[in-house]
Amino acid sequence: ILGGAGGIGLETSVHLAQHAQANMVLVGRSALTLEITTRLERIRAAGGDYLYCQADGTDLSQMQEVVRQAHARFGPLNGVIHSAIVLKDAAINLMDEATFQAALAPKIRASAVLYQSVKQEPLDFMLFYSSVQSFWGNAGQSNYSAGSTFKDAFALALSQQAPFPVKIINWGYWGYVGVVASEAYRERLARQGIHPITTAEGMAALDRILSGPLAQVATLKMSPEVLAQANITRRRIEALPAAPVPTLNPMLDQMKAANLLL
């Protein structure tokens, strides 16, 4: 799991340890500290095991080294999850290039690097954690929304061409774990009709999505009024035509051209 040492990534690790006795390889940018180790011990307490690797998810050589370490410790990889996130919120007219790119890199470059690192693995699945911000923007998060939109398109292309199943979950608001888990944030969103996903609800959705046929699923809790304002109705969803899926090779070529920008 890229970004697996905290937030939703850690809850996913604990869930997989509890229900599948999984061995987890967790990748993060931070050095392993006592605080991180204490958090990760929840995985062993749940019945699994873990290896923590400090690496930059946007660096191909570092991620290839992570795969080598995973093989040495646990053998071939069976599943891969991209859960890394960086939030650098600001109004777009006040956002400098560095702030814009800081939120893009974990979504854009890290997605491509992660696939390049594991494309030869006998995976049961590759899963990208994305956001409903792909579908409607949130004030101050143009960088995050742009990155999530690319991540969705890239993963959809992979779902048509990769030798293993590729899925996307566009998460709504997680209110109890993660970078925006605070009482003040929950109260603010509740006034807008947006309600927090609990850990139990999120993991139940994860199980259904991994075992289901759909490549992309949005998981969110909102009032009917907010859903209607977003023009999300059952009738509208059922009437949607199948969207064309972008081909992968041109996207990878564009990524190579963008290396100097990310």
**Angle, nearest 10°, between helix axes 97-104 and 142-161?**
30
**pLDDT at residue 236 in the model:** 58
* Contact yes or no for 169/131 (Cβ under 8 A): no
**pLDDT at residue 93 in the model:** 86
Segments in the chain below pLDDT 50:
243, 245-248, 250-262
**pLDDT at residue 239 in the model:** 57
Domain layout of the chain by residue ranges: 7-261
**pLDDT at residue 260 in the model:** 32
In 3D space, the residue among 66, 9, 6, 60 whose CA is nearest the CA of residue 36 turns out to be 6
**pLDDT at residue 7 in the model:** 92
**pLDDT at residue 233 in the model:** 67
CATH class of 7-261: alpha beta
**pLDDT at residue 261 in the model:** 33
**pLDDT at residue 127 in the model:** 98
For residues 198 and 43, what is the distance between their CA atoms, to the nearest angstrom? 19
**pLDDT at residue 235 in the model:** 64
**pLDDT at residue 253 in the model:** 46
